[in-house]
């Protein structure tokens, strides 16, 4: 993976204070190969490399980061930026019914996504939804949509096979208005490849219904082809967003980068299964992690941690594995290691799953509170550190004044200790490694 490749070049980069065009050349070559392997389209790879170079060159490397880590962070940030940084919801602020038009090749997942979106809008946004099919060429496609509508319990507008798509959709809009429908989702026909007839048809349909959202649906497994198709649709239609389907079968994640870059339109949703609830809001940072391979970022974190103090980490892991109690000495060791890894907080912030970790634990990990916590533990006696149960009110008061903090700060530390202890207990044999893994969420 990319992170593995980059850590290979770390050694050579070590000891230089700044990233320069010279010292990152080799690493950038690795980034390029990794992006191509993730099936990102070539022009997108080139543009991205350029952006990474501009951002990285001249950047000072924080003391606590190795240059390789600093570069990985730039790569990750730029990949996230290319994909649009933020999650984007549907814009339905128009007079009802808001029309959503689905466009894309046959097999991309349009009809399935209509069902998923209908369910999403009904359940999450409390909308009254109707669906209609303009796929007049394949009666089976209309029946497929009808079945899905029943399954997710939304209104289905029947299409007559001998009508033109525009006529069908106009009639559906009339009906939706009369029955106070909030959102009308229009499924369309797709061909196996981009052709003029299909583009002309969907353009005409778009002109006739003036949709609030025009979503381009694309199969993520088509990789680089996704970019080509996206370009064609983006030129023919004023797209408002993209739905990337079948991400459950795509380990590479390159289509997300390509499609976003080529269309300039936000990816709003991703398909994560065939089922009606298999639709997720798109999070660019998660896809960036996937391409970088978070598992390897985590092993990098472990690597750094071991560099900081291999012995202590091993001892702790052994201790936890043997089921021995995690005491305040262990906590101090960990805190000190985290302090030394302080620069990793930038990476840690962005780890998927960080949302599930209690804020107090997160603060320890990101190092902001660490020096104060260490000072508090230092004000305890050896005996207290080994046996935290001793710490009653008066001892806590003494420790607080010794460390120059309030008793509330000491109480907070003890809470954090208890959380860590619980976590360690749960991890058992997994030790620190397991804790890092647990953060993947």
Of the pair 31, 256, the CB lying nearest ligand GDP is at 256
Q: How are the residues of the chain apportioned to helix, strand and coil, as percentages rounded to the nearest 5?
A: 60, 10, 30
Question: What does DSSP assign to residue 266?
Answer: P
- The Cα–Cα gap between 326 and 320 comes to 7
Give yes or no for residue 8 binding ligand GDP (CB under 6 A): no
252-291: contacts with ligand GDP (CB under 6 A):
271-274, 278
| Binding partner at 108 among ligand GDP, Mg ion, none, C-beta below 5 to 8 Å by kind | ligand GDP
Tell me the window of 38-46, 242-250, 288-296, 414-422 that interacts with ligand GDP (CB under 6 A). 242-250
CA atoms within 13 A on the CB side of 145: 29
Residue with nearest beta carbon to ligand GDP: 271
Asked if residue 123 belongs to a known ligand binding site, the reply is no
Please select the residue that binds ligand GDP; options are 127, 246, 265, 268, rule is CB under 6 A: 246
E-strand stretches of 61-192 = 98-103, 129-133, 155-157, 183-187
Residues, the chain, total? Answer: 441
Euclidean distance between the first and final Cα of the chain, in Å? 20
Spell out the residues 6+ positions from residue 267 whose beta carbon is closer than 8 angstroms to its own. 83, 84, 88, 241, 242, 243, 244, 256, 259, 260, 282, 284
Q: What is the dihedral of CA 165, 148, 106, 141, to 10 degrees?
A: -60
| Binding partner at 364 among ligand GDP, Mg ion, none, C-beta below 5 to 8 Å by kind | none
Give yes or no for residue 248 binding ligand GDP (CB under 6 A): yes
Of the pair 246, 362, the CB lying nearest ligand GDP is at 246
Counting residues that bind ligand GDP (by CB under 6 A) gives: 18
- The Cα–Cα gap between 432 and 160 comes to 63
For residue 345 the two structure tokens come to 């907080």
- The Cα–Cα gap between 253 and 282 comes to 12
Asked if residue 188 belongs to a known ligand binding site, the reply is yes
Convert residues 116-155 into a mask of x (bound to Mg ion by CB under 5 A) and - (unbound): -------------------------x--------------
107-126: contacts with ligand GDP (CB under 6 A):
107-112
Tell me the window of 91-99, 245-253, 257-265, 328-336 that interacts with ligand GDP (CB under 6 A). 245-253
Report helix angle 254-263 to 42-56, nearest 10.
Answer: 90
If phi over 0 gives left and psi between -120 and 50 gives alpha, with beta otherwise, what is residue 154?
beta
Tell me the window of 108-116, 166-174, 262-270, 430-438 that interacts with Mg ion (CB under 5 A). 108-116
Give yes or no for residue 106 binding ligand GDP (CB under 6 A): yes
Asked if residue 247 belongs to a known ligand binding site, the reply is yes
Please select the residue that binds ligand GDP; options are 68, 97, 104, 431, rule is CB under 6 A: 104
Q: How far is the CB of 306 from ligand GDP (least distance, A)?
A: 39
Give yes or no for residue 23 binding Mg ion (CB under 5 A): no
Question: What does DSSP assign to residue 84?
Answer: T
Please select the residue that binds ligand GDP; options are 67, 165, 190, 388, rule is CB under 6 A: 190
Give yes or no for residue 249 binding ligand GDP (CB under 6 A): yes
Q: How far is the CB of 170 from ligand GDP (least distance, A)?
A: 22
Of the pair 118, 436, the CB lying nearest ligand GDP is at 118
Give yes or no for residue 159 binding ligand GDP (CB under 6 A): no
- The Cα–Cα gap between 362 and 29 comes to 34
Spell out the residues 6+ positions from residue 227 whose beta carbon is closer than 8 angstroms to its own. 41, 44, 255, 258, 259, 261, 262
Asked if residue 214 belongs to a known ligand binding site, the reply is no
Spell out the residues 6+ positions from residue 315 whose beta carbon is closer than 8 angstroms to its own. none
Tell me which residues touch ligand GDP (CB under 6 A). 104, 106-112, 190, 245-246, 248-249, 271-274, 278
| Residues contributing to the annotated binding site | 104-111, 187-191, 245-248
| Residues contributing to the annotated binding site for GTP | 104-111, 187-191, 245-248
Tell me which residues touch Mg ion (CB under 5 A). 110-111, 141
């Amino acid at each position: 993976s990319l992170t593995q490749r980059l850590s290979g070049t770390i050694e050579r980069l070590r000891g230089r204070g700044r990233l320069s065009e010279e010292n990152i050349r080799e690493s950038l070559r690795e980034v390029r190969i990794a992006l191509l392997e993730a099936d990102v389209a070539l022009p997108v790879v080139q543009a991205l490399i350029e952006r990474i170079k501009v951002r990285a060159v001249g950047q000072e490397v924080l003391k606590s980061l190795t240059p390789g880590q600093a570069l990985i962070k730039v790569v990750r940030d730029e990949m996230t930026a290319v994909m649009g940084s933020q999650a984007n919801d549907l814009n339905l602020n128009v007079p009802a019914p808001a029309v959503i038009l689905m466009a894309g090749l046959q097999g991309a997942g349009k009809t399935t996504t209509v069902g998923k979106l209908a369910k999403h809008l009904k359940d999450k946004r409390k909308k009254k939804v109707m669906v209609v099919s303009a796929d007049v060429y394949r009666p089976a496609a209309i029946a497929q949509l009808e079945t899905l509508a029943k399954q997710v319990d939304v209104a289905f507008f029947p299409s007559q096979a001998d009508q033109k798509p525009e006529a069908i959709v106009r009639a559906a809009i009339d009906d939706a208005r009369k029955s106070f429908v909030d959102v009308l989702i229009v499924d369309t026909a797709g061909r196996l490849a981009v052709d003029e007839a299909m583009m002309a048809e969907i353009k005409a349909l778009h002109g006739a219904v003036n949709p609030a959202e025009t979503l381009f649906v694309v199969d993520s497994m088509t990789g680089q082809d996704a970019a080509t198709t996206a370009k064609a649709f983006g030129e023919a239609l004023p797209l408002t967003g993209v739905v990337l389907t079948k991400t459950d079968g795509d380990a590479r994640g390159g289509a997300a980068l390509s499609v976003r870059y080529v269309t300039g339109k936000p990816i709003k949703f991703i398909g994560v299964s065939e089922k009606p609830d298999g639709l997720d809001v798109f999070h660019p940072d998660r896809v960036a992690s996937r391409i970088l391979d978070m598992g390897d970022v985590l092993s990098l974190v472990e690597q750094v941690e071991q560099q900081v103090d291999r012995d202590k980490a091993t001892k702790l892991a052994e201790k936890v594995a043997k089921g021995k109690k995690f005491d305040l000495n262990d906590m101090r060791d960990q805190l000190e290691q985290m302090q030394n890894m302080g620069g990793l907080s930038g990476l840690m912030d962005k780890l998927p799953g960080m949302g599930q970790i209690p804020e107090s634990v997160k603060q320890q990990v990101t190092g902001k509170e660490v020096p104060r916590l260490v000072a508090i533990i230092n004000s305890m006696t050896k005996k207290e550190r080994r046996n935290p149960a001793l710490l009653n009110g008066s001892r806590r008061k003494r420790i607080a004044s010794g460390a120059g903090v309030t008793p509330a700060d000491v109480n907070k530390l003890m809470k954090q200790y208890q959380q860590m202890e619980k976590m360690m207990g749960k991890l058992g044999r997994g030790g620190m490694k397991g804790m890092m893994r647990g953060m993947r969420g």
